[in-house]
Amino acid sequence: MPAKITRRGMFRATAGAITLAHLPAAAASRHQWPIREGADTPKLCLGVSPKADEGTMRRIKQLGIDYVLMGGPPIPWTEANLRAIIDRFKQNGLTVCNMMISGFPNVIYGRPGRDEEIEKVQQSIRAAGRVGLPVIEYNFYAHRLVEGYYEEPGRGGAGMTAFDYDRVKDLPPLPQEGVHSAEALWKNLEYFLKAIVPVAEEAGVRLAVHPNDPPPAISRGSAQILSTVEGWKRVIQIVDSPANGITFDPGVTRELGEDPVEVCRYFASRDRINHAHYRNVIVHKPYEKYVEVFPDEGQVDMFAVMRELVRHKYTRWIYPEHPRALDWDRQHPGFAAYYPGGGGYTGEAYNVAYARAMLQAALSLRD
């Protein structure tokens, strides 16, 4: 149908009754373009090795990214070792916004030595507070069922990360891990949170627990207590504090068969999203069979998720994670995938561009 552009910035059909308002032009009257990330907006970040070289940092900056996250050093963290990492990235224009803490298996399994591990975690949180690290992320798995991942071809032969519980549901427990009930794991997590959340509050640090992903209820014989939205809600009720929050991931949420927008609303309205991931999936069977896909082709309404974060004035970090495997990355071993169907730098560039477009569009609609 022929169309013309009116003086008011609208595409208007010359025949018929269809009129499409040019929303960005309307929004531009309220916001100066380009809309930048700032103190009152969410901010995009990327994951990186703490030993990343200057070339890697330069490539991250070229994508318009100013914040990075990474795995932390062995516990206990010290002010000196954290500052050395943070300062090296700062010299290259990047701010470390989040570190993953690990190394407390006795806490998870309720074994002797857990109090010593908790003391190391507490020391690490205090050190993080002293160097200004705002978020510490952690996992609480009895076993993470990564054995169920495999690569599946996507559009143009790009690599997708697929998961199928039928492939791994009968795997036996591992001797070094044992078998742990939901009741026992909840007791262990409660003991942990009651010991560390007050320390995080005092240090000015927010804690973010990542949901169990992949999310089947049983993983090598052990329960996965963070594989349901009800489990996530229970976490933030154990110690009611902004320091005790979650990593919200719309991809994981959809893997459970839940509505990511509604779940985002629940936690964001309570200020309990302390970190956010941003990815999409196609789910064939909730919890058990799904494929991680490009952000533009899955079942999650990614724009609605971004609008919900903006609506609730979320101002921390969003990680557009799990890049798909593109041929350029496959042909350059230095950017190799780190899990089946996962990609490297060009995949990350695609994810960042998509996430930034969604973020700018959502910010343009703010009142």
Q: What is the pLDDT of residues 309-357, one digit of tens each?
A: 999 999 999 999 999 999 998 888 654 445 688 888 999 999 999 999 9
In the numeric block, which tokens belong to residue 346?
């060009």
Q: Is the pLDDT of residue 29 over 50?
A: no
Q: Looking at residue 339, what is its pLDDT?
A: 63
128 in Cβ contact with 75 (< 8 Å):
no
More confident residue, 195 or 31: 195
101-126 mean pLDDT: 98
157-168 mean pLDDT: 97
Neighbours of 349 (CB within 10 A): 17
Report d(CA 60, CA 62) in Å as an integer. 5
In the numeric block, which tokens belong to residue 125?
């949180």
101 in Cβ contact with 80 (< 8 Å):
no
Q: Looking at residue 338, what is its pLDDT?
A: 56
Q: Looking at residue 165, what is its pLDDT?
A: 98
Q: Is the pLDDT of residue 181 over 70?
A: yes
Q: Looking at residue 30, what is its pLDDT?
A: 65
Q: Looking at residue 14, what is its pLDDT?
A: 35
Amino acid (one-letter) located at 313: K
The full set of domain ranges for the chain reads 1-30, 43-364
Contacts of residue 104, Cβ cutoff 8 Å, sequence gap at least 6? 75, 114, 117, 118, 120, 121, 192
Q: What is the pLDDT of residues 79-105, one digit of tens each?
A: 999 999 999 999 999 999 999 999 999
Chain center to CA of 171:
28
Instruction: 240-244: list long-range contacts, CB under 8 Å, 24+ apart.
Output: 241/197, 241/200, 241/201, 242/206, 242/271, 242/272, 242/274, 243/197, 243/200, 243/201, 243/205, 243/206, 243/207, 243/274, 244/193, 244/197, 244/200, 244/207, 244/272
Q: Is the pLDDT of residue 24 over 90?
A: no
Q: What is the pLDDT of residues 216-263, one digit of tens each?
A: 999 999 999 999 999 999 999 999 999 999 999 999 999 999 999 999
In the 8-state DSSP scheme, what is residue 324?
B
In the 8-state DSSP scheme, what is residue 325?
B
Q: Is the pLDDT of residue 6 over 60?
A: no
Which pTM was predicted? 0.91
Bridge partners, residue 275, by sequence:
247
Whether domain 43-364 has CATH 3.20.20.150: yes
Percent of the chain with pLDDT over 70: 90
Which spans in the chain are helix H? 23-28, 54-62, 79-90, 105-109, 114-131, 182-203, 229-238, 250-255, 260-268, 302-311, 327-330, 345-364
Q: Looking at residue 26, what is its pLDDT?
A: 47
In the 8-state DSSP scheme, what is residue 172?
P
53-70 mean pLDDT: 96
Percent of the chain with pLDDT over 90: 86
Report d(CA 117, CA 9) in Å as an integer. 61
